[in-house]
Structure 1
Amino acid sequence: MLNALDTHLLNATPRLRLRGWPRFLTEFLYFGIKEARACLFVGLFFAAVFLVPRAGLFGLPRYDVLLLVALAIQVAMVWSGLETWDELKAICLFHAVGFALEVFKVSGTIQSWSYPDFAYTKVFGVPLFSGFMYAAVGSYIIQTWRLLDMRIRHHPPYWMAVLIALLIYANFFTHHYIGDYRWYLAACALGLYARTSVVFRPLDRDRSMPLLLGFVLVGFFIWLAENISTFWGVWRYPNQLGAWSVVHVSKWSSWSLLVVMTFTIVAHLKHIKASIHVAQP
């Protein structure tokens, strides 16, 4: 069924009769459908977050049930051909990168946040399902790239993109010891991607937007999802232990920078790299 939907969504046959407001509304509708379809992993995973009781199911703690759900979704997507083995490798890398960050952040010396519930699959205080929250972002970008037929124009040299991505990731660790340099890194990313645009196809015609705007928008929606997750008690920040409060808006910038890093990993997939035009000096 999903493959049939994808075939329809990827049909770029010209709609010559669509003009003016009807074209705008139709393209906007298809863009929304494609974005929703790209969020398949995210949607199913967060549906489980909302539906699984805090007490767990069938004698299994909630975090363990969420791990099983995430694994089942991932296996189903690869088995159905919605994700390739090459893409699965990248998603596994997202999982590993995210899990390493989680272990550091919940450690006794840092305690940026915590996972208060018991689980059999906790390692160093972090439930194994948590890595899938980072993998979900990677899955979304991969699916969006395919469904919107994305192409990148004036991408910076790959070594520069990789360097800024590594520095962004390192800052999540080092800012606890030598200061937070996120705004300096954001300024570097701004300069690096200032000319970069993403060309995409909502329906039958190419549209474009600044890639930096895409980073900020995705970061905003991740911040919204983080608010929902903490409200449901999946994890908690120290200031939320007594009563829930909105996640500080500064996290939006952190997530936007994390999207830059995630995008860089996705951009190195072989079939995606072919659709990227690297700017020449």
Structure 2
Amino acid sequence: MTKDRRAKQDARERKALTGESYTTARRHTSRTAEPQFKPDHCASCLQQLPNQVERLFCSELCRQTAEVIRYWRAIVRDGRIENSDVSYALQTRVAHLLAGGYPKQKRHLSDEIRQQVWARDEGRCRGCGNPGEEIDHIHGDSADLANLQLLCAPCHHRKTEQRMVPAGAEQKSYIAALQRSRVAPQSPLLLCDDHERWSTIERTLRKERREGLLAQLAEYGFKRADFASYSWSDMWDEVLDENYDEDDFEAHGIDDDSGFGPDSYFARAMAKDD
């Protein structure tokens, strides 16, 4: 691909993501530009956030997408992507994105459960008998002791790979577009893609959003303490129901019908285990 064709393609991808005109997108992709961030919009897909969402992403999938992009950008720039273990880690993270995201909360294990697994398996991999390194979910996300086993890293990786299938054409196109528009450019397209700055600026941006929403709440004559027993989402449902009907909000992520969602063949394969 020639340099001019690549520039035009980058501009079209930026236009589709940001909603800018083609001329503006072409200008931004032809020079270093300030990473994109729109207050009160999802930091990853740039769709407007409803008041019920307190943080900076419209969905867990969007948050994880940005996390993977930052990791990808970092390992490309420091050369770690040449390390086979790091490359494998990236491959696994991307696979989880294609499967609709990794259910971190469901798969979180307490220290007590971890100790029980190590004690029961006597510190040995149940696959090959070598020293164990990682706790594996045998099927699904259940944290029941019977669904957990200790494996060494090679056995764990091999088990995961056996449950992964090659990405389809649509999936490959999606990942290639992410790589071109959000990983390859020297200057990050979105602020949430900036692996050097995001960790320090995210807290400030979250605080600003929360303060802005609390100011809106005050305009309705309420304060957060009035809804102490409510979650953030339930509080806003209550307030907005009494004041006006918001348009239905649909979280923007990878569409279930696109081949990447939780009902896809890839997702079913990944859902069998880590």
Same fold (TM > 0.5):
no
Per the normalisation by structure 2, the TM-score is 0.27
| Structure of higher RCO (CA pairs closer than 8 Å, 6+ residues apart) | 2
Q: Is the strand fraction higher in 1 or 2?
A: 1
Q: Is the helix fraction higher in 1 or 2?
A: 1
The structure that has the greater radius of gyration is: 2
